[in-house]
Chains A and B, each alone.
Chain A
């Protein structure tokens, strides 16, 4: 596709439920990042994938959060047993070289 695609664009879930957020990066981009942005705040790094290397999970806030990237392309971010503080916009970005991030439109997650 022409850009980074994220789905769903909006997700409302009940506290305690699990959610899956999907990111389809730009074709040929080997690096994929997940960030979280709470209302009025900056971007919080969550996890980074580069090719076949082990992902950098240092930003994941708890063990309820996990992510995988299948076949070096599509990535899924999973949040188990969601809490209200998980409400935020989850942004995915991809890059062909280290220098430039291309962001998707994000998934707005609301936990009620």
Chain B
């Protein structure tokens, strides 16, 4: 059983702070890793993908991958109230994707 785990939250951070979202996965055969953002009542949208160990930065977002520890994280710098959403971690196995339950982030103005 391939599993992806996340803290369900809610994670509350003040505006301007760094939000740190974490995800662990069970299968070492995982190839690619993704972070999706889902606003309430909306469908998920891709915000970051990462394929190799280390950090990948895109604007205020940084994804971090550690395959040895089977751990992937997302950092959001200078958090804004508009970042308040549920963040879904997804892991690919071949052509398929397994999603975590999501972490609800609340950025307080």
Contacts and interface: CB of A to CB of B under 8 A. Distances in A.
Given A33-B97, A41-B101, A100-B49, A105 B42 contact: yes
Nearest to A41: B101
Contacts of B44: 43, 91, 101, 103
A1 interface: no
A20 interface: no
B45 interface: yes
A71 interface: no
B43 A104 contact: yes
A4 to B, nearest CB: 9
Interface of B: 32, 34, 42-46, 49, 88, 90, 92, 94-102
**What is the interface of chain B mostly: helix, strand, loop, or mixed?**
strand
Interface residues of A, number: 20
A75 to B, nearest CB: 16
Contacts of A101: 34, 44, 46, 90, 97
Interface of A: 31, 33, 35, 41-43, 45, 48, 50, 56, 91, 98-106
Nearest to B101: A42
Contacts of B96: 45, 48, 56
Given A98-B94, A103-B44, A106-B43, 10 more contacts: A45-B98, A45-B99, A48-B95, A50-B95, A91-B43, A101-B34, A101-B90, A101-B97, A103-B43, A105-B43
A34 B95 CA distance: 13
